Amino acid sequence: MKKITKFKDQKVLVLGLARSGMAAALVLNELGAIVTVNDGKPFAENKEAQRLLEEGIKVITGSHPIDLLDEDFALMVKNPGIRYDNPMVERAEALHIPVITEVELAYLISEAPIIGITGTNGKTTTTTLIADMLNADGQSAKLSGNIGFPASEVADKAVSTDTLVMELSSFQLMGIETFRPKIAMITNLFSAHLDYHGSQEAYEAAKWRIQENMTADDYLILNFNQEKCRRLADQTKATVVPFSTKEQVAGAYAKEGNIYYHDELIMKVADLALPGEHNLENALAALAAAKLRGTKNEAIVEVLTTFAGVKHRLQYLGEVQGRKVYNDSKATNILATQKALSGFDNSKLWLLAGGLDRGNGFEALEKDLEGLKGMVVFGETAAKLEATAQKLNLTVMESENVATALQEIFPKTSVGDTILLSPACASWDQYKTFEERGDLFINTFEAIKSKKA
């Protein structure tokens, strides 16, 4: 960690704990700041606050008193999930107190170069692919950011020979000032988080901030499959490296069943471990970043031919008696399930879907469901999904949950079939998180596997 003096003896308010707030508070304390932490969870239930108090850091919990901001703070470090119309944030801005997120702090202290990945879909898979490629090549890559490892915590321990591979959300990017990755990437841009940003334009503007401090010495990887991303190429000072599955570009591309970087043949598309057009895009984006870091082709190919997927994100669980099983519990909306379905042969596919009923229908999914071997539906949306399946003359059955769905459908499948959990719905009708739903599915698969062995 760079021992910067910027925050020494400065009063800093960390608003919101969780892992990122905890990491920011500890780093700032180490840098000599006078840290106050404010979190809404009561102290008795707040293990993070209890630990910080033991470290000698001032903590105020259970509420967010506006008059706290009268203490002449020099900086606020805000949890990314806290909106900018929050009264505490609005008050800080009215007092001209700078408001940042902890990724800005991570950049300021990092001795290691940063690869920053943002976009609507594919961030986590692409981030993981890049780190795996670099590590397979003998480089030292550290996952960080929105992928579950607080950026400032990772940066605190990183050295100059490491590379921080950092997944970045639009929420995090709204709180940067000087943040400048050596390599940045926008995987794609679709409609998302409009409840937070207020408009698609504001959401995309937040994503675009990833490159605002970059120069021609830095690289910006853009998805040239999307016209809006192509147009952005003329609006940055960074050196643009495109990727595309549809045409030959001056970067990473797929052509006639092969994957290339510039004019160099890397591998065959058919050898990719992850199915689907979207995963081909993820592979190309990761390939471009890895090549810019000097990664050898052998390491890139090794990862792309063996990568089983990020847990709960089109994760390949394995094969039992000739049946392949995938866990895509992270598919909490129709678009995510559409992308998952695009990678399979429907005539051999059984889809497990259902979950929280948000009031929407599934008409948008009908084209993607055509020709399915069958469906198992569960949760609050079971009846809606069953009606959709019947409309398409698909074999369909209703089950209690993801565990019983897998147990009940497995005997009805044949050698060569694939079973895919891709719910197209949030999990909150039956589970606390999509991870809990996915873990139950994984455990059920492992139980079936052990019985059939």
Query: Which parts are annotated binding residues for ATP?
Result: 119-125
- Strand 315-320, strand 323-327: pairing: antiparallel
In sequence order, which ranges of 34-118 are alpha helices (DSSP H)?
47-54, 87-94, 102-109
Binding region: 119-125
Cα separation, 66 vs 85, whole angstroms: 13
Cα separation, 285 vs 122, whole angstroms: 10
- For residues 76-91, b (16+ Cβ closer than 10 Å) or e, as one string? bbbbbebebebebbeb
Q: Which two tokens stand for residue 116?
A: 């920053």
């082709």: which residue's tokens?
Answer: 297
CB 396 within 8 A of CB 438: no
CA 210 to chain centroid: 15
Residue type for 350, please? W
In sequence order, which ranges of 99-248 are alpha helices (DSSP H)?
102-109, 123-136, 151-157, 170-173, 194-197, 200-208, 227-232
Cα separation, 125 vs 131, whole angstroms: 10
């009063």: which residue's tokens?
Answer: 11
Alpha-carbon separation of residue 131 from 71, 141, 147, 382 (angstroms)? 42, 5, 12, 38
Cα separation, 356 vs 339, whole angstroms: 20
Cα separation, 219 vs 83, whole angstroms: 30
DSSP tag of 190:
-
Residue type for 117, please? I
Three-state secondary-structure class, residue 29: helix
Residue type for 2, please? K
Q: Which two tokens stand for residue 269?
A: 């598309």
CB 364 within 8 A of CB 399: no
Cα separation, 305 vs 309, whole angstroms: 11
Q: Which two tokens stand for residue 149?
A: 């490892």
Cα separation, 177 vs 109, whole angstroms: 14
